[in-house]
Structure 1
Amino acid sequence: MFVVVGCLLTCPLAGQAAPIDDQLKAIQSVGAEGKGHAAAIAAVKELSRGKSDSLIPILRAFEDANPLATNWLRGAFDAVAEREWRQSRKLPASELEAFVRDTARNPEARRLAYEWLVKVDPSVSDRVIPGMLRDSSPEFRRDAVQRLLDRAVKAQEGDKKPEAVALYREALSGAIDDDQVKAIVKPLRELGETVDLQKHFGFLTEWHLIGPFDNTDKTGYDVAYPPEMKIDLAAKYTGKMGEVEWERHATEDEYGVLNIAKKTAPHKGAVTYGYTTFVTDKPRSIEIRLGTPNAWKLWVNGELVFARDEYHRGTQLDQYKVRAKLKSGTNAILMKVCQNEQTEEWAQDWKYQLRVCDSAGAAILPSSVATTTSQIGR
């Protein structure tokens, strides 16, 4: 009798909605190829009927959601917010604003909350955005940078050079998108200011290169040449055309592009390795962002963290984003860059650029200049 009564008090009745936590878990569990779709569809349907007190839990659920689940959560949030706003012209504004300001929360969820807040109270932009110049969300940073950039342009147009320079500099300190960086750097230089783009983006510009090794018929991609076993900067190896050794190279390109084709011959059907170090005073999670039109592999402290066997599909800034972990002290970074044997003019590029940054794209600079040892075991 008591068991039955207890169940009646705690268990959903037939046709009764499941608790919101169960609905959120069902959505978070959705996967590819129809996995969990039936349960997720039912959960979204129930969740979309919720009241305003379900909005924050939905946003929190973004934390453990895959991209597909995120889309479904967004749909449920929009449905609840739209209905509540249409019926009462109210949303839990203070709770939503607190969520937006919490940089530990999921960036997509924060942005969704912000977009709805603006509908309720347009003045929220003036309260929130100015403080987001170094936010963990790229979208919020962009908004904050643009506000400063607009003010800088007006100051420059009004012949207020010191004010314009100060505003441009402040905007640049938070800028992570290349188009905004260029829009800031151009007028700064016109005003006589110098800007170090290599440092701003966090490009690694000093490398030891060794090669070429053989990549005839693209066979070298899967061959573990000696640098993959151990880094010995004093060693010499048999390469594609004879003996090869490590040579130190630095790039002066503002965007950190290291042009291997100009430094290594022959530059067709070949493999070159690039090695550098990065010093940090504490363990930290980073993103390594790189661009190259060539096939490549990347190791951090001897661990293969990513690889791409693809040639001449174009290249751009931050083309690839690779998460990695650095240890305290000196960290070894090794790139393997492969060139095929295509003869078309557009297939002659053999180059790469690589930078270290946080998840938003802001540069992480080394704690000190790395002292490269002659031999580092991997």
Structure 2
Amino acid sequence: MPLPRLSRRTFSQSVASPQFFLPTAFSLLLALLSVSSDALADQPGNTTNNSLVEVLNRVDAEGVGHSDAMKAMSAQAKSTDVSPVQLFATLDSMSHAEPRAKNWLRLLASQQIEATESNAATTGKLNSLREDLLVFFNDRSHDGDARYLIYRYLVDKNPDRRETLLEQAVDDPFIPLRYLAIERKMKQAEQFEGEEAIEAYLELLPLARHPNHLREITASLKKLDRPVQLAKQLAMITQWQVIASFGNKDSEGFDHVYEVETEYAESPLDHELVKQSFEAATTSEGDDKTTGETLTWQTLSTDDNAGMVDLNPTYDNAKDAIAYAVCFFELPEGETTDAQARLGCINGNKAWINGQPVLSNEVYHSGSSIDQYVSNCQLRPGLNSVLLKICQNNQTQPWAQDWQFQFRLTDSTGRGIPVTVLNVAP
């Protein structure tokens, strides 16, 4: 029996949401190694650091390289013959590692830190080692996961370091570190009153990246009679041209390419798209079947504090329906073109940037949040466009009635890109 279509995610170039603690995979690797180290004790124990790193860097999806990695790691798991040079070579190698390989490298680096610390303690060089690790941490050009590993080590050995390290991390490019630093500053701001509190929150506003932090900061400012709009701080796009409803019976419309998609793909920067009308259609054995209704684009804006665009009031709570939303916008001069598309949507959805597909998630009514789906995308100086396909099914439960979305563009750290929406009303 096939899986229900309502739960199928068909395609994603998604970027993983920021993790604020070492991944679960790290703990899992430790467990695996503890189980297998005795069984693999007869493996060679003289693997050099360079060759070991090479073995770990070959780890990939679907189990590729994991067996070799486990053997190599188990063979040296109890080795204390580690030099600072080897440790920093491992930390440096994390900059170019794929995610699964990086889990192994993180484990290796953690073990090497312990071994190097043990060696340094017996030679009177422990303080020198920790200062070298601090220098590595302070250099933001190094891999964020490697720096975060060092942060945890330094704080574990000296909890008083936490305040100093986080004080300077409020603008750190590695989001988990910035998250901790902003969290610390927010707790400090809670102790202030009046203008002092307002000043503290306003200082954090342009630095915060996580939507929850931005939501809490704007809520605190509202309580202090200094309201700011969350959607603006997040750089949500709040003005769209929308056309609906196209058919989505049995959720078949998700994969079906309606004429709107075809026209957009041919000329993704052509404003004339929103001046065209389209025949309402359903799908029948893969072909369009027109209903005789002519659909036109409508301007749809939102003043929702979080930038949520609700399709239900405009389209009468339609079911088995698809809406397309398009926005043409100008990128600010000097703004990065290496961006991320971030969509929050409780319905099945697809997204294109400048004609290129970036998101595709056939997931219905399983929850929604700011930045729920994230994908890298490429913008261009000047004119750009985004097309969204928002799919509603026919579920009748009260919790399955929402038909809505929120969308923004950010840089790689989650800083919202404040685009200028062009007035291209039909």
> 1:10 corresponds to which residue?
none
For residue 110 of structure 2, give the secondary structure of its aligned residue in structure 1: helix
Letter in 2 for 1:219: E
CA-to-aligned-CA distance 1:247-304 (integer Å, 9 cap, x gap): 1111111111111122114610111000012322355111111111111111000111
- Higher mean Cα deviation, 138-147 or 106-115? 138-147
Query: Given the alignment of the two structures, is residue 254 of structure 1 paired with residue 302 of structure 2, yes or no?
Result: no
Query: Given the alignment of the two structures, is residue 331 of structure 1 paired with residue 376 of structure 2, yes or no?
Result: no
> 2:327 corresponds to which residue?
276
Q: 2 CA distance for matches of 1:374 and 1:152?
A: 43
For residue 176 of structure 1, give the secondary structure of its aligned residue in structure 2: coil
Query: Given the alignment of the two structures, is residue 235 of structure 1 paired with residue 267 of structure 2, yes or no?
Result: no
Query: Given the alignment of the two structures, is residue 118 of structure 1 paired with residue 155 of structure 2, yes or no?
Result: yes
Letter in 2 for 1:207: W
> 1:83 corresponds to which residue?
115
Decide whether the 8 Å contact of 1:20 with 1:47 is kept in 2: no
> 1:32 corresponds to which residue?
61
TM normalised by structure 2 equals 0.77
CA gap of 1:181–1:47, structure 2 versus 1, over 3 A, is farther
The Cα shift of 1:210 comes to 0.5
Query: Given the alignment of the two structures, is residue 94 of structure 1 paired with residue 131 of structure 2, yes or no?
Result: yes
Aligned match of 2:257 in 202, 209, 224? 224
The Cα shift of 1:47 comes to 6.0
The Cα shift of 1:306 comes to 1.9
The Cα shift of 1:68 comes to 2.5
For residue 339 of structure 2, give the secondary structure of its aligned residue in structure 1: strand
> 1:352 corresponds to which residue?
405
The Cα shift of 1:35 comes to 2.1
For residue 173 of structure 1, give the secondary structure of its aligned residue in structure 2: coil
> 1:340 corresponds to which residue?
393
Aligned match of 2:168 in 131, 146, 158? 131
The Cα shift of 1:245 comes to 0.6
- Within a 5 Å distance, the mapping from 1:43-192 to structure 2 comes to 43-45=72-74, 48=77, 49=79, 50-86=82-118, 88-89=120-121, 90=126, 92-156=129-193, 161-192=194-225
Decide whether the 8 Å contact of 1:330 with 1:370 is kept in 2: no
Letter in 2 for 1:235: Q
Letter in 1 for 2:279: T
Q: 2 CA distance for matches of 1:293 and 1:374?
A: 27
Q: 2 CA distance for matches of 1:266 and 1:83?
A: 63
CA-to-aligned-CA distance 1:41-89 (integer Å, 9 cap, x gap): 3433466532333222222222232333222222212212223334544
Q: Percent identity?
A: 28
Give unmatched runs, 5+ long, in structure 2.
Answer: 1-42, 265-272, 282-290
Decide whether the 8 Å contact of 2:260 with 2:278 is kept in 1: no
For residue 95 of structure 2, give the secondary structure of its aligned residue in structure 1: helix
Letter in 2 for 1:216: K
Decide whether the 8 Å contact of 2:45 with 2:76 is kept in 1: no
Decide whether the 8 Å contact of 1:205 with 1:258 is kept in 2: yes
Letter in 2 for 1:144: A
CA gap of 1:64–1:332, structure 2 versus 1, over 3 A, is same
CA gap of 1:236–1:215, structure 2 versus 1, over 3 A, is same
Q: CA RMSD in A?
A: 2.4
Q: 1 CA distance for matches of 2:135 and 2:76?
A: 22
Letter in 2 for 1:41: M
Decide whether the 8 Å contact of 2:352 with 2:358 is kept in 1: yes
CA-to-aligned-CA distance 1:106-130 (integer Å, 9 cap, x gap): 2222111111122344443343322
For residue 224 of structure 1, give the secondary structure of its aligned residue in structure 2: coil
CA gap of 1:54–1:47, structure 2 versus 1, over 3 A, is farther
Over 6 Å off, 4+ runs: none
Q: 2 CA distance for matches of 1:278 and 1:124?
A: 45
CA gap of 1:308–1:15, structure 2 versus 1, over 3 A, is closer
CA-to-aligned-CA distance 1:332-353 (integer Å, 9 cap, x gap): 1000011111122211111111
TM normalised by structure 1 equals 0.86
Q: 1 CA distance for matches of 2:225 and 2:422?
A: 34
Give unmatched runs, 5+ long, in structure 1.
Answer: 1-13
Decide whether the 8 Å contact of 1:212 with 1:266 is kept in 2: no
Letter in 2 for 1:347: A
Aligned residues, how many?
Answer: 356
Decide whether the 8 Å contact of 1:129 with 1:143 is kept in 2: yes
Q: 2 CA distance for matches of 1:287 and 1:47?
A: 40
Aligned match of 1:303 in 356, 361, 365? 356
CA-to-aligned-CA distance 1:191-217 (integer Å, 9 cap, x gap): 210212111112111100001011122
> 1:198 corresponds to which residue?
231
Q: 1 CA distance for matches of 2:423 and 2:206?
A: 30
